[in-house]
């Protein structure tokens, strides 16, 4: 998936990704963690690097595989709108409070009382509807999508403020990274808290890099095998952060590229100092409580010095800039409203009255609160001078979870402006890869990194610079119409802000449109 900003970086990426060690790792990944999906990993040449190929013919709409993220995080600015589990990222919403707002909105029309013959949906109606949908789905309460509506009632909270949907998620997060990253209080007045606050005013992607280092350290503590602990990270080519994100196009007048890179080196050096101070403090805490598997802090630091330096940290940040994808998990009420609205005519005819009332209430609420974000089109710029954040806040009732994630398998998929696959999220941070075209055995599986509903020159510009992605509505409807899961939520697979792809797409669509 990666594309570097100069030929030397591209050569390094290709050489690394074509190594036997990388091939063996991804073959094992497919067989174990991804449960033998109908795909294979290969090498697509120096320009594209690693690639995923169809192991058999696939039909449009067919699910190919599901994958949990290696690491992920919720965006900081999204946290003020919605809580989610800090491990699996399932939304943790107060459904009773949300429904009270929906019911209040649907009972009034333009400030006047609704017609007397139009019964408003109550909280009891909402609860009955969820119970009906869970029963109709034919899945256990734990497996059903609709269990998301009750998860907030059972949430657990860490002393630092992190919330979890279950004791299992809390324990998993602690064992994988939180034991070393927890600031131990919501005030964040210790060294790790200072590191986290530092990332908020610099670059929150530093938190992901810290998660990776913490994950390696804790796996080393458990196994005392550094090669095994760091192997998943070593499978990705890791160029220093400044080599990935800098370009001569960004230079100020009279500034050299080296001087510009020095700004990034200085920032990441400061960041790493803050991180190491917090890491040392938390390692000492674990040693005092006997949680280092018989090791001392000094033993851990000396054994792990190869991953505790600023060079490794900068390369992990560079890895994210090259390989991460967006994570967008819809608000449960949005998902419920879309599922009920997209029911077939026959399904609507047989819909229980209680479900019809809930559907009507959600549709009224959605219509009243509909507000599109600024699109930056010329006419919009002339009519709207307000900030995007103001638009965003108007829809805060139904804001879903937004973040960024690294998936070991998905992040090996290359880009095409005519993609044959897409990545979807349902109720949590697990990503589902679906075919959106019929695919032949041996054909490369590709996703789009950008919004492909643009002209070829605009797409080329997006691939050169930072960008976001959105699926077309037709594609979303096609996938949502399948019966593969009770609710299919669509998301564009795109870049986290400030990422630059810096490559030219040579897919068949682009080549044909350039000739036109």
- Residues 134, 141: contact at Cβ < 8 Å? yes
From residue 367, how far is each of 170, 224, 358, 374, 455 by CA, in Å? 38, 57, 14, 18, 32
Q: What is the pLDDT of residue 119?
A: 64
DSSP output for 136-160: HTTS-TTTSGGGGGGGGGG-EE-TT
Give mean pLDDT, residues 478-503: 43
Handedness of CA 12, 18, 19, 23 (dihedral sign): positive
Per-domain residue ranges of the chain: 1-68+407-516, 95-156
Task: Determine the number of helices (DSSP H) and then strands (DSSP E) in the chain.
Answer: 21, 15
Which tens digits make up the pLDDT trace of 356-387? 899 888 888 877 766 443 444 444 444 444 44
Which tens digits make up the pLDDT trace of 214-271? 999 999 999 999 999 999 999 886 799 999 888 888 899 999 999 999 999 999 999 9
Task: Tell me 307's DSSP state.
Answer: G
Task: List all residues 6 or more positions away from 257 whose beta carbon is below 8 Å from its beta carbon.
Answer: 246, 248, 251
Which tens digits make up the pLDDT trace of 16-69? 566 778 888 888 888 888 888 999 998 888 778 889 999 999 999 999 999 999
- Residues 138, 370: contact at Cβ < 8 Å? no
From residue 385, how far is each of 136, 202, 370, 393, 394 by CA, in Å? 47, 26, 19, 16, 16
pLDDT at 5 over 70: no
In whole angstroms, what is the distance from residue 420 CA to residue 439 CA?
A: 7
In whole angstroms, what is the distance from residue 279 CA to residue 273 CA?
A: 10
In CATH, which of 3.40.50.720, 2.170.270.10, 3.30.70.1050, 3.40.50.1000 is domain 1-68+407-516? 2.170.270.10
Angle between helices 205-223 and 226-234 (to 10 degrees): 150
Which tens digits make up the pLDDT trace of 303-353? 999 999 999 999 999 999 888 889 999 999 988 888 888 777 777 777 889
Q: Count of CB atoms within 10 A of residue 36's CB? A: 10
- Rg of the Cα trace of the chain? 24
Handedness of CA 297, 205, 464, 269 (dihedral sign): negative
pLDDT at 198 over 50: yes
């Amino acid at each position: 998936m990666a594309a570097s900003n100069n030929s030397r970086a591209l050569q390094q990426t290709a050489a690394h990704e074509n190594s036997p060690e990388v091939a063996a790792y991804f073959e094992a990944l497919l067989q174990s963690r991804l449960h033998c999906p109908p795909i294979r990993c290969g090498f697509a040449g120096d320009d594209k690097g690693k690639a995923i190929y169809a192991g058999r013919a696939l039909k449009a709409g067919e699910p190919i595989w599901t994958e949990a993220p290696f690491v992920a995080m919720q965006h900081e600015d999204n946290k003020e709108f919605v809580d989610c589990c800090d491990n699996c990222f399932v939304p943790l919403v107060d459904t009773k409070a949300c429904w009270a707002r929906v019911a209040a909105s649907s009972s009034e029309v333009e400030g006047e009382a609704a017609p007397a013959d139009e019964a408003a949906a109550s909280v009891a109606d909402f609860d009955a509807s969820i119970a009906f949908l869970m029963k109709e789905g034919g899945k256990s309460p734990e497996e059903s999508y609709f269990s998301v509506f009750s998860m907030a009632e059972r949430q657990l909270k860490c002393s630092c403020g992190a919330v979890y949907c279950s004791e299992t998620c809390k324990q998993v997060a602690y064992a994988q990274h939180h034991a070393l990253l927890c600031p131990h209080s919501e005030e964040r007045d210790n060294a790790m808290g200072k590191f986290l606050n530092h990332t908020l005013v610099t670059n929150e992607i530093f938190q992901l890099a810290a998660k990776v280092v913490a994950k390696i350290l804790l796996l080393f503590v458990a196994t005392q095998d550094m090669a095994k602990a760091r192997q998943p990270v070593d499978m990705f080519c890791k160029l220093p952060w400044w080599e990935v994100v800098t370009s001569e196009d960004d230079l100020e007048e009279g500034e050299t590229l080296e001087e510009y890179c020095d700004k990034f080196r200085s920032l990441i050096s400061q960041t790493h100092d803050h991180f190491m101070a917090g890491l040392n403090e938390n390692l000492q805490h674990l040693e005092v409580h006997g949680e280092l598997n018989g090791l001392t802090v000094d033993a851990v630091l000396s054994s792990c010095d190869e991953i505790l330096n600023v060079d490794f940290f900068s390369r992990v940040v560079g890895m994210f800039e090259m390989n991460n994808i967006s994570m967008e998990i819809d608000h449960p009420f949005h998902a419920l409203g879309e599922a009920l609205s997209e029911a077939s005519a026959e399904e609507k005819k047989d819909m229980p009255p209680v479900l019809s009332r809930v559907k009507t209430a959600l549709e009224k609420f959605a219509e009243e609160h509909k507000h599109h974000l600024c699109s930056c089109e010329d006419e919009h710029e002339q009519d709207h001078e307000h900030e995007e954040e103001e638009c965003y806040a108007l829809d805060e009732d139904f804001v879903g979870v937004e973040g960024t994630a690294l998936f070991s398998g998905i992040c090996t998929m290359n880009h095409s402006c005519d993609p044959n696959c897409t990545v979807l999220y349902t109720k949590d941070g697990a990503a589902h890869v679906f075919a959106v075209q019929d695919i032949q055995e041996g054909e490369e599986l590709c996703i789009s990194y950008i919004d492909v509903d643009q002209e070829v020159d605009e797409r080329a510009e997006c691939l050169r610079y930072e960008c976001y992605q959105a699926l077309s509505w037709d594609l979303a409807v096609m996938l949502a119409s399948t019966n593969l899961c009770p609710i299919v939520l669509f998301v564009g697979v795109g870049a986290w802000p400030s990422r630059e792809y810096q490559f030219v797409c040579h897919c068949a669509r682009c080549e044909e449109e350039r000739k036109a």
